[in-house]
Structure formats: structure tokens, C-alpha cells
Amino acid sequence: MKTLATLALVVATTNPAWAQFAKPEDAIKYRQSAMFVMQQNFSRVAAMASGKAPFDAKIAADSAAVAEFASRLPWAGFGEGTDKGRDNRARAEIWSDKAKFNDYADKIQAEMVKLSAAAKTGNLDAIKPAVRAVGGTCKTCHDAFQKD
Amino acid sequence: MKTLATLALVVATTNPAWAQFAKPEDAIKYRQSAMFVMQQNFSRVAAMASGKAPFDAKIAADSAAVAEFASRLPWAGFGEGTDKGRDNRARAEIWSDKAKFNDYADKIQAEMVKLSAAAKTGNLDAIKPAVRAVGGTCKTCHDAFQKD
């Protein structure tokens, strides 16, 4: 257990922004982990929306709820000083154009809330446009801020 | 997490148990990702409980809530056929003694619910025993089912 984690979080005024994690690599691993959980759950819903998987309303609703929750998490792992280290595809623009990045981070969370709400209706026709909106938001941000 | 368990049931008749993931490696990565998100958030609360970090009621409550949510997720990634592949420390006993493993999986989720509830009270004295219970449950399961 990396029990030092919070020590620095609370005294963040005198520590680098990744300091809620024990080390920058943990911040990178954290954002990657949260992104993976989000992506796996979103993909399951997207596969139903595109007809690649049979529609199951409960699985769609549950998966969308997990994706929505996970969408709130990665951003804590993008503090200053977390651009290098571990195998990661973050572009420098994340930190040099932070306002735009934060805007996209807000956007994906908002679209995930809509997708989760749509999935709760059990109506595939409501899910489809919400999946497209999430997918578009993922792509826009990755195109701008993720290395190939 | 009932979501993925349910999915596994749905596909169980015609697909291997990891089939809710594209490949077994994804299942392993999924459980590792969820565990990491859980561990990072739990550690933050544990550091406050042990006095290694100053107590911040809001951070404790938020972190415990994320840890609780994350505690529902890893189990979907332990389907049959996911023992090998990727760098992973799962012991064979996870699959040969599935009932015991599932019991521990239920237990950590239950203890996380209690921790999250305790953290919401903002009372550090309520958080301390709940942290100990979670930590003990983590250790018991890791001792039995995780390779050194």
C-alpha cells in the first residue's frame, strides 16, 4: 500500500501536482487504468449500438454506469510532471493547452452522463446517438492530445 | 459487479467465460486496472487513518467512494481461461477454489461499503476500524490467492 499518497495531496501548495500519488508513474498508471475501465465498458455498449453485439438492456445500462463513473477519474492523473515516465502516449499539449484539455475532459464526462441516462431507458434508439456523441468526444480529444 | 457477472452468464453457454472481453489479456488488464484504482484510493484514506497523512474529510469521503465503486469491478476479469497471460500474480487456487475466492470478493465489497459510509460521516474515529477491516480483507485474500 502506498500510504504516502495523501500526505502530499493535502500539502499540494508546496508539492508538484502529481503529489496525490506516491510518484508520477502511479499517476500515469492511474489515468491509464481508469481509461481502460471506461473504454472496456463503453465499447460493450457501443458494440450493441452498432449491431455488432446483441442488445441487452441491463448489460448496456450497467456498463454505461461504470463507464460514466470511470470517466470522472483519469484527470487526477494528468498533473504537472506526469508527461514522462511509464509507457504513455500523452502529448505535451495536454499541459501547454490545459484549458482545452480540461474542456474536453469536462465534455466526455457530460456525454457519459447522457449515455448512462439513455442506457437506463432501455431504448436502443436513445442509446445510439449518445454512443456516437461519446465516441466523437473520445476521438476529438485523442486526435488532439494522444500520440499515435 | 453484477453487470459483468450477468454478461458472463448470458454468454456462458456458447463462449468462454472471458468472452465479455475481446481477449483473456483484456480481462486480466481490466481486473488489474480496477484493483489499482481501488488501491490508490483506499491507500489515501488508510494514510489518514494511520496518521501518516493529515485528515481531510472531503478527500477521505471522495476517495472511499471511488474505492467502493472500484471494488465491484475486478471480479468480472477472473473468468475461466484468464489465469495465464500478461504479467499477473493470480494463483491457480482462484479457479480451483472459486467459492472461497468469490466469498472474499463479496467480503471486500461489503467492507468497502462500510468504509465509504464511515468516511461520509467525516469522523476519523469511525473511519479507522473500517480501514482496518478493509485492509485485513485485502490481506487475507492476497495471502491466499496472490503470488508473491
Burial class (CB in 10 A: 0-12, 13-18, 19+), A100: middle
Give the integer Cα–Cα distance in Å for B47 and B121: 18
pLDDT at B139 over 90: yes
Q: CB distance from A56 to chain B under 8 Å?
A: yes
- Nearest Cβ partner of A6 from B10, B29, B53? B53
ipTM: 0.88
Contact B7 A44 (CB under 8 A): yes
Give the integer Cα–Cα distance in Å for B115 and B95: 28
Question: Left if phi > 0, otherwise alpha if psi is -120 to 50, otherwise beta: which for B58?
Answer: alpha
Q: CB distance from B21 to chain A under 8 Å?
A: yes
* pLDDT band, residue B143 (cuts 50/70/90): very high
Task: Output the tens digit of pLDDT for each of chain A's 148 residues.
Answer: 444 444 444 444 444 555 589 899 999 999 999 999 999 999 999 999 999 999 999 999 999 999 999 999 999 999 999 998 888 899 999 999 999 999 999 999 999 999 999 999 999 999 999 999 999 999 999 999 999 8
Contact A62 B34 (CB under 8 A): no
Give the pLDDT score at A19. Answer: 59
| Residue spans per domain, chain A | 24-81+89-145
The highest-level CATH class for domain B24-81+89-145 is mainly alpha
Q: CB distance from A20 to chain B under 8 Å?
A: yes
Torsion over CA: A87, A93, A97, A100 (sign): negative
Name the strand (E) or helix (H) holding A82.
none
Q: CB distance from B62 to chain A under 8 Å?
A: no
